[in-house]
Structure 1
Amino acid sequence: MYHINFIVMADIDDFTREVECIYKDERYAVRDNGAVFRYPRDGRRPRKYDNFWTFGKPNIVHGYMEIASVRIHTIVATVFLGPKPTKEHVVDHIDTNRRNNRVENLRWVTRLENILDNPITRKRIKLRCGSIEAFLANPSILQENELPPDLRWMRTVTDAEAQVSKKRLLEWAESDKEPSGGSLGAWVFDPSEKSTVYSQQPQVSTHETQADLLTEEGQLGVWGYMQPGFQENDQDNTLQDKEKEEDRKPDLLLSLTPGAAQVKVFFDDKPCEYPCTPQHFEGNPVAAYAANLTDDAVFWRNQTGDRAYSVAKYGYSRDGNSLIVMSRAAYVWKEQADGDSKPVSITQLGPDEYDINKLSCSLTEVTYEQNLFVHERIEPGFHPNEYLEEIFNQCIKKT
């Protein structure tokens, strides 16, 4: 058995229990943190998703984590909570985060129990239908008022983050408050945020250098979106900016590269470099960015500069308004004499010291919004190439 370490906030190796099972004729090892390992079939060649630990891949439609189209929360619940009691039972994500498949976040319930016994779900139904009584009198009212679920805030979490998010959502469910704008993701996971409603991030009242536009957490303040030449005392511009707030991407960090921003994945994300960001261009900004995506050019570099990802390939999105960039690690971890490991650039290694096919990859969407090239991870974390290849092909425009 071997596994691939994903560099994500939720450590795939941070678990208490690990159990092997057979689920739908497949053999798995399952951890109580929501990770699974699928074994190859006896006497058969390993398949795409065999032989490595994974939290799964989020389905782009409903958001549940899957491995080869099998929902991971059902595997985890079956192993640790017992088989499905009846055909009417489903798995409830208690904190409503569909990517949090930690055992303590799952339970078997009927569909009606899922609605009535989960206070977070119950609160959302009240907001959609007016009252629980109105829903029970006419369950179709929920479908009539149903909106596509907001999947952007959902992600795998550490045990500490799971406790923070569940506590915060339960407090909100028990209150008489409604969401008041801002980002659910930033509010629900950030332990420094005390509010029990979805509140806007702190604002920065100056418009100077890129570094000046960051809050203490590296968060991009409202003024970071202003067009060049904006005057703070211009009431018309201030009103116009407020009207645009609802259209902005949540959780933006200004990157270390001028003109670049990144969408936060985790509450303690730090600004990074995006060297391919155009500094001067005419015409289509997305096309200008694409022109810089030459083979093996550095696409992303972390804040300390010791880790970088280079361009593997890219394509235009289906609507042609953004770029989908697959990047590949330009370093490997090497053990040092003192026993610690550190990242070493592959340019310092011989061809026999690393396998390019085993370097982890990342998938990013690049858009141009209000004078910023915005970088957003399509799939949080770093993964094997084959893991992201399918998602890349789904996202790009077919030629």
Structure 2
Amino acid sequence: MAEKNIEDFKEEKNCIYRNETYSARDNGAVLRYSKETGRKRQIDDIWTFGKLDDKGFLRIGGKKINRIVATAFLGSPENEQYVVFHKNYNSQDNHAQNLAWVIKFEFKILQPNIQSQLRMITGKKIEEILSDVSIFRTIDAPNLIWMKDVTQEAADKCLEKYIDLKFSTKDEIESINWNSVENRKQIKNLNIYLHLSLTPNAVVEGNMIPSYFPCCPQEINDNPLQIYYKNLKEENVYYMNSKYKVLILERALWNDKIILKCESADGEKAIKPWSVSTIRFENGMYIHSLYKTCFQKESADKYFTVLQGKEWTGGDVFDDFC
């Protein structure tokens, strides 16, 4: 993962969180002030992005960085039931603009796997479901039983939050049932090796766990790859599913396709932490292809370079022999 510059920020704000005083920057860095009485602690009065815990969150002194930054820039939540939602689904990206306070029900609805399951069970869009909570009463999936107790008032607030976080205007709400018969026929006619993803406009070439591509454009214009390329910023989530979350390290646009070098959110704990993928646009769809998964980062560097038509001068790499 590329190292972030702690001094690269535009705005800094102060807050009090759980009886501690902090300064927070819009780049996700925080500073905890030493107390007037008592011994100065080791991490007091030092700017830091935090230390990664075993759940994938960054912390300082046991406190989540995301809650401190959100408190500084968004204000304190109404109560402790509120959690922080990361708009790009990267739990380590604590830039202020990437954070939002949501209640736990809203947080669950905003998860791609829950949205996909609800669509599959009900055959309805999320907006339709939230507009009529009686639909929740018909759901018998064990992991969704809790939804039967959701009130219409809570669902209405969730719908507003869903629109605000996922779409630029209320008129641009998702309008495609991507699992329709027509879409399946279109994909079958295009390529028998293409499969639906959990995101409209995004399909996958080859076998893959059903995945969500959060950066995939929902509106297609005259320059579809350029629009997608702009969304694929470093450290954003490329795709995520029930088992994996993959983050973007580098990107390139070459010869009518996007080339990505990525890293597992699990870092080097993953068996093959690095990968290289391509995205092309055909017949109104973004086609996502995995080129290679790698044991070593140097291997991903090589394949990322070669796919751009450039010369690789580093010789053989470990994954050439795997």
TM-score normalised by L of structure 2? 0.46
Higher Rg: 1
Q: Higher helix proportion, which one? A: 2
TM-score (norm 1): 0.38
